[in-house]
C-alpha cells in the first residue's frame, strides 16, 4: 500500500482548523473591501523570467523557487509563484490601461517556497495581500498600516505591534558611510539581526567575500548602534535619526514620511501603543524603496512576522516603461493560525452550522428535512442527521462536531406538530415547542448561548 503521508513542509488541513480559517478569510476580505480594495487572481504558475527578473526577489527567495516542468516542456521555463506581489506587478503592467490608477487590489492564495520547514513555516502557504498601485502618496502608506491594524483587530487578535521604518533612512546612513553600492548585501545581513544577534550580523557585515557587504568594522558597529538605538516610540526615535542624519536629503525624506504616517494613523484612531518605529527593519526583498512594515504578536515574537510589506516604486519597471509606484502588505494566514493554535486561541469546531436536526427512528424523514429547510431559509444553518439511529448517538455526534442545539421530533411530537430543543453543551431540553415558533425559539436559544460565551473567561492568548 502507498504511504498516505504528505511531503515534508506540506500539510492537510482538517475541518477543525479549516472552519476558523475560512472565517478569518471572510473577515479579511470584508476588511480589505471596506477600504476600497478589489479582488483579482493571478496564476499559480508564472514564467520563470517573470519571477526572477532583476529586483523581483532576493537571492535567498529566488533559490527557493519551485520549478515546474510538464512532459515535453522546456526546463527552467515555468515556476510556482513565491509571493503575490511580483505577479501583481506583471498583472498591472499588462492591464494598467484598462484598470486606471490608483489601482487598489487584494488577492488571497497559495504561494510556494522551498525553504526548510519549521513551526509556522511551510512550503505551501496562504498569503493575504492588498496593494495600492499608481501613487506615491503618504496617505496610501498610512492606509496600508491602518489596514494591517484593522484586519488583525477584526480577526480578534488582542496584543500585537506594528513596526515601521523607511528604507530611505538606512539608505542615507549607508550613503554617509560611502557604501550605498553595497546596500542590498548590508540590508539582507541586517534583516537577520533578530535571528543571529549583533555579533552574527557584525560578522556578516565585515565579511570580505561571503556576503558582499564588506563594511569596515567602525562602519558596521556604527550601523548596528544606530539601529539598536532606533527602536521605540515614534517621536523619540525620529528625533534621534534627525540629529544623526539631518544633512542628508534622502534620509530626511524617510523621516518626514514616517512622521506623517504616524500622524495619519493617529487621525484614523489606531492606538499609539500598537505602533513603533524600528530603524533596523529592512525587509529582505530588494524591491522595497520606502516605508516598510512588520507585525509581531506580543509575547510570541518567536513566530516571526505575521504581516509585512512596504513601498516598491520601481518593481513594475521590470515589465513596463511606465513608472507605477506601489505600496502594500501581506498577512501570513498560516503562521497566524499556527500561533493561535499554540496559544489555544483558535476556536475549535468541526461544523459550519449551529443546529443539528435529529432523525428520530419511526418518524418520516420528511419532517426533519422540512424543519431544517425552514431554518436555512431564515438564515440559520442546520444539518440533518442522515440515519435514524439512536438519539443518544446522534446527540453525541452533535456534541463532538460542535453543534450548539439539537431539534428532536419523536412520533408523539410529530403527531402534535411540536419539537424538543436541546442545548448540547448542558443537555438542558425544552419540550413541546410549537413548530410555528421554530425560528424564534432557535434564535432566542442561540442568543442566550452567545451571551454566556461572551462572559466566559478568555483562555491564555497571544498576548501572554
Average pLDDT, the chain: 89
Same-domain pairing of 212 and 190: yes
Q: What is the SS3 assignment for 85? A: helix
**pLDDT value at 30 more than 60:** yes
Same-domain check for residues 207 and 149: yes
394 and 263 within one domain: no
Is residue 143 included in any domain, yes or no?
yes
Residue 3 lies in a domain: no
* Per-residue model confidence (pLDDT) at position 460: 44
In this prediction, residues 313-338 reach a mean pLDDT of: 87
Spatial CB neighbours of 19, under 8 Å, sequence gap ≥ 6: 347, 349, 350, 351, 352
Strand blocks (E) in 279-414 = 291-297, 307-312, 326-332, 355-357, 382-384, 405-408
Is the whole-model pTM more than 0.75?
yes
Indicate if 318 and 387 belong to the same structural domain. no
Whether residue 459 is contained in a domain is answered as no
Given 342, 373, 397, the domain boundary residue is: 342
Q: Are residues 90 and 229 in the same domain?
A: yes
Judge if 368 and 261 occupy the same domain: no
Do the domain assignments include residue 89?
A: yes
Among the three residues 282, 314, 342, which one is the final residue of a domain in this structure? 342
* Cis check: omega of the bond before 102, within 30 degrees of 0: yes
Residues above pLDDT 90, as percent of the chain: 56
> CA Rg, the chain, in Å?
27
Same domain? For 329 and 234 the reply is yes
pLDDT value, residue 209 = 56
pLDDT band with cut points at 50, 70 and 90 for residue 317: confident
In a shared domain, residues 386 and 320: no
283-297, 370-384, 415-429: range with lowest mean pLDDT: 283-297
User: Residue range 366-379: average pLDDT?
Assistant: 97
Q: How confident is the model at residue 216 (pLDDT cuts 50, 70, 90)?
A: confident
pLDDT digits (tens, 9 = 90+) for 141-177: 999 999 999 999 999 888 899 999 999 999 999 898 8
Cell readout for 339 is: 500561533
On whether residue 379 sits in a domain, the answer given is: yes
* pLDDT at residue 278, as a whole number: 93
Give 128 or 230, the one with higher predicted confidence: 128
Q: Please tell me the predicted confidence (pLDDT) of residue 303.
A: 83
Q: Which residue has the higher pLDDT, 368 or 59?
A: 368
Q: What is the CATH number of the domain that holds 129?
A: 3.30.930.10
Structural domain count, the chain: 2
CATH number for the domain including 359? 3.40.50.800
Task: Write out the residue range of the structural domain in which residue 431 sits.
Answer: 355-454
- pLDDT band at residue 9 under the 50/70/90 scheme: confident
Report the SS3 class of residue 296.
Answer: strand
Show which of 295, 312, 342 is a domain's final residue: 342
Least confident of 72-76, 196-200, 284-288, 447-451: 284-288
Q: Are 155 and 291 part of one and the same domain? A: yes
360 assigned to some structural domain? yes
Q: State the pLDDT confidence band at 213, using cuts at 50, 70 and 90.
A: low
| Residues 115-135: tens digit of each pLDDT | 777 665 788 989 999 999 999
Is 227 a member of any domain? Answer: yes
Would the pLDDT of 191 be above 50? Answer: yes
Tell me, yes or no, whether 373 and 322 share the same domain.
Answer: no
Residues 6+ positions from 169 with CB-CB distance below 8 Å: 241, 245, 251, 254, 255, 258, 279
pLDDT tens track for 49-87: 888 875 555 566 678 899 888 877 788 899 999 999 889
pLDDT of residue 60: 63
CB 139 within 8 A of CB 264: yes
Q: Is residue 29 part of a domain?
A: yes
Asked if residues 32 and 329 have their Cβ atoms less than 8 Å apart, the reply is no
Pair 225, 255 in one domain: yes
Q: Both 259 and 137 in a single domain?
A: yes
Amino acid at each position: 500500500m502507498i504511504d498516505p503521508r504528505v511531503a515534508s513542509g506540506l500539510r492537510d488541513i482538517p475541518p477543525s482548523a479549516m472552519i476558523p480559517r475560512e472565517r478569518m478569510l471572510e473577515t479579511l476580505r470584508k476588511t480589505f473591501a471596506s477600504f476600497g480594495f478589489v479582488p483579482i487572481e493571478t496564476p499559480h504558475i508564472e514564467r520563470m523570467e517573470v519571477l526572477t527578473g532583476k529586483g523581483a526577489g532576493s537571492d535567498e527567495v529566488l533559490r527557493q523557487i519551485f520549478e515546474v516542468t510538464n512532459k515535453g516542456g522546456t526546463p527552467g521555463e515555468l515556476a510556482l509563484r513565491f509571493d503575490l506581489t511580483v505577479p501583481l506587478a506583471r498583472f498591472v503592467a499588462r492591464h494598467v490601461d484598462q484598470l486606471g490608477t490608483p489601482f487598489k487590489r487584494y488577492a488571497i492564495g497559495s504561494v510556494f517556497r522551498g525553504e526548510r520547514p519549521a513551526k509556522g513555516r511551510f512550503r505551501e502557504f496562504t498569503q493575504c495581500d492588498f496593494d495600492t498601485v499608481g501613487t506615491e502618496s503618504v496617505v496610501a502608506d498610512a492606509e496600508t498600516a491602518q489596514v494591517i491594524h484593522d484586519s488583525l483587530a477584526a480577526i480578534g487578535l488582542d496584543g500585537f505591534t506594528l513596526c515601521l521604518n523607511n528604507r530611505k533612512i538606512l539608505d542615507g546612513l549607508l550613503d554617509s558611510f560611502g557604501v550605498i553600492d553595497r546596500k542590498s548585501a548590508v540590508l539582507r545581513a541586517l534583516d537577520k539581526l533578530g535571528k543571529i544577534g549583533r555579533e552574527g550580523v557584525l560578522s556578516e557585515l565585515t565579511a570580505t567575500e561571503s556576503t558582499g557587504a564588506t563594511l569596515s568594522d567602525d562602519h558596521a558597529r556604527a550601523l548596528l548602534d544606530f539601529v539598536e538605538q532606533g527602536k521605540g516610540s515614534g517621536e523619540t526615535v525620529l528625533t534621534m535619526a534627525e540629529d544623526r542624519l539631518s544633512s542628508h536629503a534622502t534620509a530626511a525624506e524617510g523621516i518626514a514620511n514616517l512622521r506623517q504616517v504616524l500622524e495619519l494613523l493617529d487621525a484614523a484612531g489606531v492606538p499609539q501603543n500598537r505602533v513603533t518605529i524600528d530603524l533596523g527593519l529592512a525587509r529582505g526583498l530588494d524591491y522595497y524603496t520606502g516605508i516598510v512594515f512588520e507585525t509581531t504578536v506580543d509575547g510570541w515574537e518567536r513566530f516571526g512576522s505575521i504581516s509585512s510589506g512596504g513601498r516598491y516604486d520601481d518593481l513594475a519597471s521590470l515589465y513596463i516603461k511606465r513608472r507605477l509606484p506601489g505600496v502594500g502588505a501581506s498577512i501570513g494566514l498560516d503562521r497566524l493560525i499556527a500561533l493561535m493554535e499554540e496559544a489555544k486561541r483558535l476556536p475549535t469546531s468541526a461544523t459550519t452550522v449551529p443546529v443539528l436536526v435529529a432523525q428520530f427512528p419511526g418518524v418520516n424523514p420528511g419532517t426533519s428535512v422540512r424543519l431544517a429547510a425552514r431554518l436555512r431559509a431564515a438564515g440559520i444553518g442546520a444539518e440533518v442527521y442522515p440515519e435514524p439511529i439512536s438519539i443518544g448517538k446522534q446527540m453525541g455526534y452533535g456534541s463532538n462536531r460542535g453543534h450548539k442545539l439539537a431539534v428532536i421530533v419523536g412520533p408523539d411530537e410529530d403527531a402534535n406538530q411540536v419539537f424538543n430543543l436541546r442545548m448540547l453543551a448542558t443537555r438542558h431540553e425544552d419540550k413541546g415547542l410549537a413548530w410555528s415558533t421554530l425560528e424564534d425559539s432557535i434564535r432566542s436559544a442561540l442568543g442566550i448561548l452567545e451571551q454566556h460565551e461572551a462572559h466566559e473567561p478568555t483562555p491564555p492568548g497571544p498576548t501572554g
